[in-house]
Structure 1
């Protein structure tokens, strides 16, 4: 095996296995993870659907952009995410018909989010000038929030943990000098854990607060979908990209276990089978890239996500009397980004971008599991051609998140009956630091 073949094999292996190490937290609207390209991050992802970032990582947003790759290319990205979502001085009471008494516990759980490293990998092989094949590996959806077992909102949720791993074999073909099309198959693995407490004292003993029982639901599943795209170049230096990622349906199957019951009652709640449906929503995007001159380019992206699919969080348990339902009523969202790049020299490129990421849920349906809100992005980045075969990109983004509140009322009717009234405010911010390497052969 030649040195070149060894390097290609190593680069491809690193690129397509990277997401196995991820620890996910939601950094875009809902539980989407937008951090799939560091070169794209530099412009707040403006222009990525049109391949404006200049490397194979744009294939996540539009598989047709693989047609811009020359020869063989491997891209490895890693984004460090420093996320804060702090809760202080929350309040919780039981329903008025249960006396309206205060729920004891920790009212200030502090930072409920977790820092993470989000990797992604890409590999593209040029069969000919017109035909390309590739493989990408990403973690496109994820969420981790953890309040601790003793927090006063524990009847609404304690820990929420969703992780996904997406592998997409992809092909692109240049139809004519103006149009490239592309498509791939998403092969997606998802696993989740949901924890919360129930006021067993109120529901079974007639003494609210006398006994809490914690439940832990775990499950996983494989699903599949498609990724489609087109790239149009009406004139040299101007590109329009259209990308689509389909929904992926999962039935997360696993079990539910209970802790906190005294030995005399343990037999009343044995561990048993449980499942929950999960649909990761479809995404459609349009991107524009335009070269003003041989140094300066401007770009934009608009992205739609079908979050209205997420109407409820329902957990089905072998004993139907234990089934759990949380109404969500999310709305579709839009992401708008504007960016620019400037070639200082033939080796050094600087980038900048701004974006608005619309939140998916109104306050009346916001829950402590996903207390998400609008986001405002400010990004900068740089790329440097180290050698003929190695390019390195770095980016930094600060995501401004307005205060968000949770205000839930329990009147002992509906799906959330018995969970109590809960009021909480969240102060959040996100910092993203990305590093990327592109290898060409």
Structure 2
């Protein structure tokens, strides 16, 4: 029993911590969040690294800060309404002949949630061509949660990740109003919580010594593993802008990878009779005990190229291309603080590309309308997709408006409807569970911001 329960323990921890670190939702590539600007959202983030008048360039491209004058403060909030429902089924005890049984439980209910994502930024431009800025934002994260007894409980119940960045940037006009460069330092704080069910009945059946027990059958003795962890780390961002003419602008930015060491713990819930069985042998008595674990994670680098054409005084056309280097998430290695050997959870995600086009039209001095379309790739494939990340390629349809209340105050609103392709999963885990099915999902994003200049 020792060897099998060891595998179950390591698998649960790996899927817990690794899932926490590599968790995401269907509204952005992987677990990336783009929701740091109501203005940019309204045009599907087209021109995000070059469009003027949006202080989110502190994190999108610091070089664009030189287009400001004086001091500008901006507060944004994006409300993410994620809808995701599973349909499918599976088996427990796969490969054990007649004891294998269909997975019990429902469809998990509504896995999505309504989540606000705030951001705040400030830029000050000096008279000598230097600009400085700071921004608090959330570049990665969000949450899914299924019913505790759903059919996929052995893969995921709750998945929640929160990241908060503080970015401090500076920029300088090398050629006034034509060519600027910028750079920034990123301080990132991350917290994670993951839970899943553990099928101790299947684990006991796998060992001939405990197989005669009446509860040693798949799904008859479920426990639970809850993994939490947190970490802080540093990264950087650099960028440049180039305006060859008054009507044409280009921007390029690069955000670095950030290396995290998630220091966490696992809390086990083990049925009393199962705990008695494990405790009766010195070789298994140390298993499924609450304790610590350390996992290393590298978040991806992000490179963005933007272009803007000011067609006339009223109309501007914009485009964006972003590559997110998810190859940094090939695996997550779990280093247990007890004598257990390391556990490795492979992800093998691929790099993704994000394309968008957008436009702004100035109706009057008071009102500006905008719109955009984007295509966003997923880093997952059928072979690497799990219920923690029901992710697929998606399309963005965006609208937005600006109201200039005065020379100093403006209000912005943006809306995006995201339609993913149908995510399908097929999982065969080390605990002999098979889960297969598909998700129906959509996302609505509602963004609002206020800006004040002085």
The two structures have a TM-score, normalised by structure 1, of: 0.89
Q: Secondary structure at the match of 2:64?
A: helix
| 1:9 aligned residue | none
Contact 2:140 2:162 in 1 (8 A): yes
- Equivalent in 442, 447, 453 of residue 429 of structure 1: 442
Give the match for residue 79 of structure 2.
80
Question: Whole-Å Cα distance in 2 between the matches of residues 93 and 314 of structure 1?
Answer: 26
Q: Please point out which of 240, 249, 252 is paired with 1:239.
A: 249
Deviation at 1:309, TM superposition (A): 1.5
Q: Is the 8 A contact 1:90 1:107 kept in 2?
A: no
CA contact (8 A) 1:26 1:32 kept: no
Q: Describe how 1:330-345 pairs up with structure 2 within 5 A.
A: 330-345=349-364
Note the C-alpha offset of 1:369. Answer: 1.2
Residues 1:50 and 1:42: Cα distance change in structure 2 (over 3 Å): same
Unaligned runs of 5+ in 1: 1-23, 410-415
The match for 2:129 is 130
Counterpart of 1:208? 217
Work out the CA distance in 1 between the residues paired with 2:259 and 2:26. 19
Whole-Å separation in 1 of the counterparts to 2:112 and 2:361: 35
2:63 maps to 64
Q: Go from structure 1 to structure 2 and tell me whether the alpha carbon gap of 1:260 and 1:73 turns closer, same or farther (over 3 Å shift).
A: same
- The residue number in structure 2 matching 1:418 is 431
Displacement of 1:386 after TM fit?
0.5
Instruction: State the distance in 2 between where 1:172 and 1:98 align.
Output: 66
Q: 1:173 to 1:128 in 2, by over 3 A?
A: same
Contact 2:409-2:451 at 8 Å conserved across structures? yes
Contact kept, 8 Å, 2:374 with 2:395, in 1: the verdict is yes
Question: Do structure 1's residue 252 and structure 2's residue 262 form an aligned pair?
Answer: yes
Q: CA–CA distance in 1 between the matches of 2:197 and 2:183?
A: 44
Asked if the contact 2:291–2:337 (Cα under 8 Å) also holds between the matched residues in 1, the reply is yes
The 1:219–1:371 alpha-carbon spacing in structure 2 relative to 1, beyond 3 Å, is: same
Inter-partner Cα distance in structure 1 for 2:449 and 2:328: 33
Q: Answer whether contact 1:55 1:69 (CA < 8 A) is retained.
A: no
Q: Cα 1:99–1:50, aligned 2, differ >3 Å: closer, same or farther?
A: farther
Instruction: Please give the secondary structure, in 2, of the residue aligned with 1:308.
Output: helix
Deviation at 1:328, TM superposition (A): 1.6
CA distance, structure 2, for counterparts of residue 322 and residue 104 of structure 1: 30
Distance 1:31 1:291 in 2: 33
Give CA-to-partner distance per residue, 1:159-218, whole Å, 9 cap, x none.
221110100111011111221111100000011112122222222443232322211111
Aligned position for 2:92: 93
Residue 13 (structure 2) aligns with: none
Partner of residue 151, structure 1 = 150
How many positions carry a matched residue from both structures? Answer: 411
Deviation at 1:419, TM superposition (A): 4.5
Q: What corresponds to 1:197 in structure 2?
A: 197
Q: Structure 2 stretches of 5 or more lacking a match?
A: 1-23, 205-209, 280-284
**More displaced 10-residue stretch of structure 1: 246-255 or 271-280:** 271-280
Report Cα offsets for 1:26-64 as digits up to 9, x if no partner. 620100001111100111000111125x22122221111
CA distance in 1, matches of 2:99, 2:374: 44
After superposition, residues 290-369 of structure 1 pair within 5 angstroms as 290-319=309-338, 321=340, 324-369=343-388
Provide the rounded CA distance (Å) in 1 between the counterparts of 2:225 and 2:270.
9
Partner of 1:34: 34
Give secondary structure in 2 for the equivalent of 1:235: coil
For the aligned residue pairs, the C-alpha RMSD in angstroms reads 1.9
Q: CA deviation at 1:103?
A: 4.6
Report the CA distance between 1:325 and its aligned residue. 4.2
The change in CA–CA distance for 1:114 and 1:320 in structure 2 (over 3 A counts) is: farther
Q: Secondary structure at the match of 1:41?
A: helix
Query: CA 1:227–1:100 in structure 2 vs 1: closer, same or farther (change >3 Å)?
Result: farther
Q: TM-score, normalised by structure 2?
A: 0.86
Deviation at 1:387, TM superposition (A): 1.4
Encode CA deviations 1:220-250: one digit per residue, 9 max, x unaligned: 0100100110010111121100011111111
